[in-house]
Structure 1
Amino acid sequence: MASNMSENKLLNILTDMKHYHKGYAEYCRKTTKWQELQKWTECAEFESNVVTNLSKKLSGQMDQQIRVLGVGSGDGILEIYQLQKLAAKFPKISASVVEPSELITKYKDTAGRNPVADNITFEWHHRTFDEYLACNGYDKKYHFISVVHAVYFLGDPEVFMKKLYKLLEPGGVLLLILLTDHTGSGSIPLHQSGLKDDTTTNNFVNSSQVKATLEKLQIEYTQSMYTESTDITDFITNDNSEEGDLLLDFLTYTINFKKSAPDDVRDRMMHHFKQGSRIEKTGDGDEKIYFKATCDILFVTKREYAGEYAK
């Protein structure tokens, strides 16, 4: 039974990557995230903000290779769609992938079995973003940088935004997709403040912080959003579901959350999940509980002259 003592510390899931990947696999089975992001990538918004914007900026260089960087690319589910869109417009693409986890192997396998496009070459960097910069520096600039649900792991928003912006070519586009702080999983750290035994999730970065940082640095951006849903029926209705517990651990970034969290924190969190959910009936009459999360999509286009951060 969990203790009521609020001084109990929760163990961050990132301290056990095997457990993290089990939770991530369960999350991928239960979320609409990738379907929603695929729809978004195929819509006019990605085309106009990224593909068309870049083609205008690079109109005199269309026969040259454009450079694309993925930061925290995971298994490449979304990045492959993005690259296919770009490959239809640009004749040569060099894609650099930075991913510290073993998910990069899945990305490599997918790209190897089903080539994304004949005009794309890949560079694989199995390391963190900071490790990548330590090895490669800023000599190589990129026309498009994609950071999808990865800013949470990059540290101080002002520091990583300066690094990302410095890697952009003038006229290049930076895409950031991340949770808002007022709905869904983005608000979870508010319920766990001070309980983690490390700084990773105590300093969880959300879209409000990133937008405030961009404004402070006087970096212009445009914004849109999408909504995703995750089927949390298993851990809401079944106390003995291993799959449900793995999903709960992933969403709370905690190992064995249900058993290790103090009673007050666990109760508050379960209330939060229920409050942010909707119930839908399936075709066979069963009920499913879906937890909704809103995510911001931020586009940054680097000005031809961008002052200090263009250096």
Structure 2
Amino acid sequence: MASSMRSLFSDHSRYVDCFRKFLDNSTEHQCMQEFMDKKLPGIIARIGDKKSEIKILSIGGGAGEIDLQILSKVQVQYPGVHINNEVVEPSAEQIAKYKELVAKTSNLENIKFAWHKETSSEYQNRMMEKKELQEWDFIHMIQMLYYVKDIPATLKFFHSLLATNAKILIIIVSGTSGWRKLWKKYGPRLPRDDLCLYVTSVDLTQMLDKLGIKYECYDLLSTMDISDCFIDGNENGDLLLDFLTETCNFNSTAPPDLKAEIMKDLQEPEFSIKKEGKVLFNNNLSFIVVEA
């Protein structure tokens, strides 16, 4: 590996730009929206039974777009019931955006928000030290388990916080996605960073099986338009390539042989489909629902 290659996570503002570009070019949020509309009402059907307050814990809530969708579904299911929504998010920038979104969103009167600027493991340690483990009716972890050091311990801890009829919703890239194949084939040749693990739904369901935790797994199709990656000097393409490889300025720092191999593979059927002149990377998502 060329020494000039460095992890995308070493440059926070570049990472944020790449992530935004990924959201612009993928059906990630539309895929999540489809799940929230079709599947979530059934999943949360009993979480608030006979309760005067519903307690929801968002782990890695980001800027809150998906969180507010979840909350709106809970409001429909339990009209007028008070909701206590606590958010664990390590990025001050994301928390600020979340608060802005809440400020300009109507119909949130019955929801109390609290934000904690910390990682899931920092939250876990704080709770263990206080020895006041609170029970939750719904916990969700959306696209965040890649950033957790000890995933089985994290799953076990949050599972222990579930109240009667409670659920945990985990969203993570599917084992059928192009991500899994990309990480498996090229992971050892790309700059690794302790901040991020190559983990998919396949790894996660194996961990849950080992822990003896009951769950259901749903896969939904999602794509990312990576056509710009094949246009020399295209800024959008460069950002998407950085996101795909988790490498800062991949285009200008990767060894030519590695770059050629990845660019060729990204157009192969196991990674992407070609449709109407576009190259669509397989960004399939898994939605894992864990039961109390």
Note closer, same or farther for the CA distance 1:126–1:187 as it changes in structure 2 (3 Å cut): farther
Q: CA deviation at 1:86?
A: 0.3
Q: What is the alpha-carbon distance in structure 2 between the residues aligned to residue 211 and residue 160 of structure 1? A: 14
Is 2:63 aligned against 1:72? Answer: no
* 154-163 or 220-229, which deviates more: 154-163
Q: In the alignment, is the contact (CA less than 8 A) between 1:129 and 1:154 conserved in 2?
A: yes
Q: What is the alpha-carbon distance in structure 1 between the residues aligned to residue 69 and residue 154 of structure 2? A: 25
Q: What is the alpha-carbon distance in structure 2 between the residues aligned to residue 185 and residue 106 of structure 1? A: 28
Q: Which residue of 1 aligns with 2:120?
A: 129
Q: How does 1:283-302 map to 2 (within 5 A)?
A: 287-302=277-292
Structure 1: state its 5+ residue gaps: 1-5, 282-286, 303-311
Q: Which residue of 2 aligns with 1:243?
A: 236
Structure 2: state its 5+ residue gaps: none
Q: What is the alpha-carbon distance in structure 1 between the residues aligned to residue 53 and residue 181 of structure 2? A: 41
Q: Which residue of 2 aligns with 1:26?
A: 21
Q: CA deviation at 1:193?
A: 2.8
Q: What is the alpha-carbon distance in structure 2 between the residues aligned to residue 270 and residue 163 of structure 1? A: 41
Q: What is the alpha-carbon distance in structure 1 between the residues aligned to residue 236 and residue 2 of structure 2? A: 28
Q: What is the alpha-carbon distance in structure 2 between the residues aligned to residue 223 and residue 290 of structure 1? A: 24
Q: What is the alpha-carbon distance in structure 1 between the residues aligned to residue 122 and residue 221 of structure 2? A: 32
Q: How does 1:5-24 map to 2 (within 5 A)?
A: 6=1, 8=3, 10-24=5-19
Identity, % of aligned positions? 26
SS of residue in 2 equivalent to 1:88: helix
User: How does the TM-score come out when normalised to structure 1?
Assistant: 0.85
* 93-102 or 271-280, which deviates more: 271-280
Alignment-mate amino acid for residue 87 of structure 1: Q
Q: Which residue of 1 aligns with 2:142?
A: 148
Of residues 211, 214, 231 in structure 1, which corresponds to 2:208?
A: 214
Q: What is the alpha-carbon distance in structure 2 between the residues aligned to residue 227 and residue 118 of structure 1? A: 35
Q: CA deviation at 1:174?
A: 0.3
Alignment-mate amino acid for residue 169 of structure 1: A
Q: CA RMSD in A?
A: 1.9
Q: In the alignment, is the contact (CA less than 8 A) between 2:226 and 2:279 conserved in 1?
A: yes
Is 2:69 aligned against 1:81? Answer: yes
Q: Which residue of 2 aligns with 1:3?
A: none
Note closer, same or farther for the CA distance 1:188–1:116 as it changes in structure 2 (3 Å cut): farther
Alignment-mate amino acid for residue 54 of structure 2: I
Is 2:37 aligned against 1:42? Answer: yes
Q: In the alignment, is the contact (CA less than 8 A) between 2:19 and 2:243 conserved in 1?
A: yes
Q: What is the alpha-carbon distance in structure 1 between the residues aligned to residue 222 and residue 146 of structure 2? A: 18
Q: Which residue of 1 aligns with 2:97?
A: 106
1:29-79 CA-to-partner distances (Å, cap 9, x unmatched) read 111111121122011x21112x21324xx2x32xx1111011111112211
Q: CA deviation at 1:209?
A: 1.2
Q: Which residue of 1 aligns with 2:186?
A: 192
Note closer, same or farther for the CA distance 1:193–1:231 as it changes in structure 2 (3 Å cut): closer
Alignment-mate amino acid for residue 152 of structure 1: Y
Q: What is the alpha-carbon distance in structure 1 between the residues aligned to residue 106 and residue 125 of structure 2? A: 30
Q: What is the alpha-carbon distance in structure 1 between the residues aligned to residue 63 and residue 127 of structure 2? A: 22
Q: What is the alpha-carbon distance in structure 1 between the residues aligned to residue 120 and residue 107 of structure 2? A: 23
SS of residue in 2 equivalent to 1:93: strand
